Copies of this chain bind each other. A is one copy, B any other.
């Protein structure tokens, strides 16, 4: 039981968006899928859910290809930025429509969530603000009877209170009915404590694939006078640096050298996930301004 992403290649207009991507998504786990704007996260999610065809490669759910396979596709739900819903339909009607496609739907939970978020289920989809469109789609995502839920920018336009509420509801529903969530977001620090495993997509490749705790254990911020810091980090995997007055901070990703003495003037701390991400992906500008 898992989703297997096998040798996925995606080329748009001679531009390589995803290059030989291989990933395994396991049951009952919360993942973060991180990447710069234009890194190809949405493309990957659209391939997994059969909304677009990859140039080559294959996606399997529990051993079956997703390609035009409704049975396999019925096991996943993709909440995306794209609005697939009729502007004139009412929220409550769209709940029913979703129930028809998936064969079931947790109407009680949807009603509780709508109340908690202040979503009027009699409102027409087209009349909802950006934030409330996200809330509507989040409710669908939490109430469908699937084992794999993909959330692309789930909190776009949500205020801080609603973001908090969503993170709490996610933890609660996950502990009541364990299933897989893959969350793609730019608000990395806010999900750092929610996710167990992280994928970082950069420059058409997966550059980080591991447990969050393992990754943060080897992400360091080393600060002090420039010469002392540079002497200490010489030969280590320095992924970025910042300066503040006479103090230099270098970011290191990977093992430190335990045999090397730490100068008294040098401080070593752990990096947070957002800072690690920014440093790892800051080397070049994302190449595309456009949506795919």
Contacts and interface: CB of A to CB of B under 8 A. Distances in A.
Interface string A142-171: 000000000001001111111110000000
A129 interface: yes
Interface string A257-279: 00000000000000000100110
Contacts of A132: 37, 289-290
A119 interface: yes
A287 B118 contact: yes
Interface of A: 35-38, 81, 117-120, 123, 127-132, 153, 156-164, 186-188, 274, 277-278, 281-282, 285-287, 289-291
30 contacts: A35-B159, A36-B159, A36-B161, A37-B129, A37-B131, A37-B157, A37-B158, A37-B159, A37-B162, A118-B286, A118-B287, A119-B289, A120-B289, A123-B289, A127-B289, A129-B289, A129-B290, A129-B291, A132-B289, A153-B157, A156-B156, A156-B157, A157-B186, A158-B186, A159-B186, A160-B277, A161-B281, A163-B186, A164-B278, A187-B187
Contact of A129 (B38, B157, B163, B281): B38
Given A128-B289, A129-B290, A160 B274 contact: yes
What is the copy number of this chain in the assembly? 2
Contacts of A287: 118
Contacts of A187: 187
A35 B131 CA distance: 13
Main secondary structure of the interface of A (DSSP, over half): loop
A278 B159 CA distance: 9
Complex A-B, nearest 6 residue pairs according to Cβ-Cβ distance, in ascending order: A118-B285, A129-B291, A37-B131, A132-B289, A37-B159, A36-B159
Contacts of A159: 35-37, 186, 286
Contacts of A158: 37, 186
Contacts of A286: 118, 159
Nearest to A289: B132
Contact of A160 (B119, B162, B186): B186
Given A36-B161, A160-B278, 20 more contacts: A35-B159, A37-B129, A37-B162, A118-B285, A118-B286, A119-B289, A127-B290, A128-B289, A129-B291, A153-B157, A157-B186, A158-B186, A159-B286, A160-B188, A160-B274, A161-B281, A161-B282, A163-B186, A164-B278, A187-B187
